[in-house]
Structure 1
Amino acid sequence: MADWLGPSGIAAITAAAAGIAGAGAAVLLSRRKTRRIMDALNTMLDRAINGSFSERSFDESLLSAVEAKMARFLALCALSAQSLSAEKKQIKELISDISHQTKTPLTNILLYSQLLGERRLPADCALCVNALSAQAQKLDFLIGSLVKMSRLETGMITMTPRQNPVQSLLDAVIPQIGPKAEAREITIEAPAAEGTAYYDPKWTAEALANVLDNAVKYSPRQSVIRVAARPYELFFRIDVTDQGPGIAEEEQSKIFARFYRSPAAAQQEGVGIGLFLAREILASGGGYLKVASKPGQGCVFSLFLPAQKS
């Protein structure tokens, strides 16, 4: 075969083989180099995550430049975290101060207005006292809601969810709303709920109470509000169905925003915080809140609680 190819053919084959071998070696070297770089980057990220990152390469390589940039980035992140922590501490102190400074004056206003209301006063004075008492109660509710909202948003409120019967939640909330519903001749129907969910009893009760209070507020007199609870695989769903005026589709995403009041509800008392708080409370506990409604057909507010600890 060597005679057939001749010296030039053999030389060409040898050169081609050498070229292939060289190319293969270059590919292997490139892969090894890439693997070393990726391993180094992976190690850098691991050290950055666990807080032990420090520069180790001080040469002119690209890897050294990446390490230097990573070090600067982490330093900036640390400064930002410290700044956020300081701001959060200041907000906590401010909220505590507001809560403390307003509690005593409001309590006194409510007390003295109540004492005045128990006295025999001229008709015009009694009217003023009643108005003063109503406005003081509204202000007390508003400040309390604002403080709760701020504590939720700044992480000052710690949720302590645990596995609880859903019926316990209903038993804690419905009697709270009962007197207000009776005053408007509204019936609350709540069949027994079977099963448990993973929730914080105190704060989830407040979320459900806000939703029920909202249903009573906007339902017509002598109507019915139904509370139905049913388990699913991942969540336990509680539906609060009313016979109110309903909510237009374009407004349904707005009603959970803080201080939002629908133009159709302008005549009703309220400040637009209840549904916002309810949604925030449920979200903090791993659940969520939805609404389904059509104008003139009432609303169904659905509270979803985690079925168990995730």
Structure 2
Amino acid sequence: MGKLGGAAVIVSVILSMAALGCLLYAVVVQIKSVQLAQRLEIMLQTAIAGNFVKQHFDESRLSKLETMLYHLLSAGNEQRQAIDKERSQIKVLISDISHQTKTPVANMKLYSELLCEQETLDEPAKDLARQVRFQADKLNFLISSLIKTSRLEAGIIAVAPKIQEISPLLKDLFMAYRPLAEEKNLRFTVTPAAFSAAYDPKWTFEAVSNVVDNAIKYTHAGGSVSVYAKEFESFVCITVSDTGIGIHESEYPKIFQRFYRSPDVAAEKGVGIGLYLTREIISKQGGYVTVKSAKGHGTEFNLFLAK
């Protein structure tokens, strides 16, 4: 009986030690898991912040998951550096193009104007000089639009929206386009509004101007162009409405494409970048653009700005 009792005690001790060992093992595994999770979290947070730096690690001391994540983040970091380098090169290229084309185009305009002022020049020759000046203006507008678009797409120009009233924007639009509308004998109205929205004044003026410019251009004398704003729960909508020639519904997806020009307006001055720029600028500010139109019954563009 004594021997059996001693054996039972020994078995009990062994089982207790085994249980304690299992418990200690579980604690160690748990600690290592927590430490691994913390290291992974630090790596991810560093990468998200854009501060991940590739270093030399002893892969034999890292977990398989940690090693895979490290290589993934390293590859992403290298790709980001390559993109930054390419963006910098594009920035230099665009600046060079802008600088190199500015002087020749300006000279073309100047020389053509001087030719037009020459009294000894006959009328046919003056007409040719006027055509040269017209084409120089067109080329200057095209180059300016392309450079502006390229800078925006490459992220060189940052659109910086901030919460502010839209009344200054509407006032600037009225002052800028009233003379052009009067010259074409159009009724041009801009309704004041005290709403606030998140927008970049310079770039949003550019976006809305492109729409207003088109409205005036494609509305016949005696027609009307109106600009007004409405407030919704999450957006402020700036509407540009006209009584112009209208747009076919089938063209709705096309008019926002770069360089697209409707066959109906091919004879008019333009390069087909304005509405593309408008959508890009508004979307970069968290907004969107819609259009409603019917051929021969005018057009309505709605530019939604986040609040």
Quote the offset at 1:162 in angstroms.
3.2
Separation of aligned partners in 2, 1:257 and 1:301 = 16
Say if 1:244 and 1:296, in contact at 8 Å, map to a contact too: yes
1:48 to 44, 54, 61: 44
Deviations 1:252-291 (A, max 9, x none): 1221111111222222221100011111122222322221
- Counterpart residue type for residue 252 of structure 1: Y
1: distance between equivalents of 2:94 and 2:73?
31
Offset of 1:178 from its aligned partner?
2.5
Report the Cα distance in structure 2 between the residues aligned to 1:198 and 1:206, rounded to whole angstroms: 15
Corresponding residue for 2:294?
Answer: 294
Q: 1:243 to 1:88 in 2, by over 3 A?
A: same
SS in 1 for 2:191: coil
Give 1:189's aligned residue.
Answer: 189
User: Which amino acid in the other structure matches residue 90 of structure 1?
Assistant: Q
Opposite residue 119 of structure 1, the aligned amino acid is Q
Alignment of 1:104-253 (within 5 A): 104-120=103-119, 121-253=121-253
> Contact 1:226 / 1:242 at 8 angstroms: preserved in 2?
yes
Q: Is the contact made by 2:247 and 2:295 (CA closer than 8 Å) also made in structure 1?
A: yes
Q: CA RMSD in A?
A: 2.9
CA pair 37-254 structure 1, distance change in 2 beyond 3 A = farther
Partner of 1:58, secondary structure, is: helix
Distance 1:166 1:234 in 2: 15
Indicate the residue corresponding to 1:9 in structure 2.
Answer: none
CA distance in structure 2 between the partners assigned to 1:244 and 1:268 by the alignment: 14
Q: Does structure 2 retain, via aligned residues, the 8 Å contact 1:169–1:201?
A: yes
SS of structure 1 residue aligned to 2:281: helix
Closer/same/farther in 2, CA of residues 129 and 234 from structure 1, 3 Å limit: same
Matching residue of 2:97: 98
* Whole-angstrom CA distance in 1 between matches of 2:204 and 2:177: 15
How far did 1:171 drift? 1.4
Shift of 1:87: 0.7
Structure 2 counterpart of 1:284: 284
Post-superposition CA distance 1:287-309 (Å, at most 9, x none):
222211222321111111222xx
How many residue pairs match? The answer is 282
Distance 2:76 2:276 in 1: 31
Worse-superposed segment, 85-94 or 222-231: 222-231
Give the alignment's TM-score, normalised by structure 1: 0.81
Cα distance in 1 for residues equivalent to 2:293 and 2:205: 23
Distance 1:199 1:281 in 2: 10
Query: Offset at 1:143?
Result: 0.4
Which of 130-139 and 282-291 deviates more? Answer: 282-291
From 46, 57, 60, the equivalent of 1:58 is 60
Instruction: State how far apart, in whole Å, the 2-side matches of 1:138 and 1:151 are.
Output: 20
Residue type at the aligned position of 1:249: E
Letter in 2 for 1:89: S
Partners in 2 of 1:155 and 1:250 — Cα distance? 32
Change beyond 3 A, Cα 1:40–1:176:
same
CA contact (8 A) 2:53 2:77 kept: no
**Does the alignment pair 1:306 with 2:302?**
no
Q: Secondary structure, in 3 states, of the residue corresponding to 2:44?
A: helix
1:266 aligns with 2:262: no
Give the alignment's TM-score, normalised by structure 2: 0.82
Of residues 172-181 and 217-226 in structure 1, the stretch that sits farther from structure 2 once superposed is 172-181
- Report the alpha carbon displacement of residue 230 of structure 1 after superposing the two structures with TM: 1.6
Letter in structure 1 aligned against 2:190: A
In structure 2, the CA distance between the partners of 1:81 and 1:116, relative to structure 1 (3 Å rule), is same
Question: In structure 2, how many angstroms separate the alpha carbons of the residues matched to 1:133 and 1:53?
Answer: 56
Q: CA deviation at 1:53?
A: 8.2
> Secondary structure of 1:254's partner?
coil
Report percent identity of matched pairs: 40
Would the aligned equivalents of 1:181 and 1:187 in 2 still touch at CA under 8 Å? yes
Q: Distance in 2 between matches of 1:266 and 1:114?
A: 27
Residues 55-101 of structure 1 deviation map (CA, whole Å, 9 limit, x = unaligned): 57626xxx822222222222211221111111111100000000011
Gaps of 5+ in 2: 1-18, 47-51
The residue that corresponds to 1:5 in the other structure is none
Moved more, 71-80 or 128-137: 71-80
Mapped partners of 1:300, 1:34: distance in 2: 63
The answer on whether the counterparts of 1:44 and 1:53 sit within 8 Å (CA) in structure 2 is no
SS of equivalent to 1:68:
helix
CA distance in 2, matches of 1:186, 1:67: 68
CA distance in structure 2 between the partners assigned to 1:156 and 1:262 by the alignment: 30
Deviations, residues 211-258 of structure 1 (Å, cap 9, x unaligned) = 100111111221101111122222211100111222222221221111
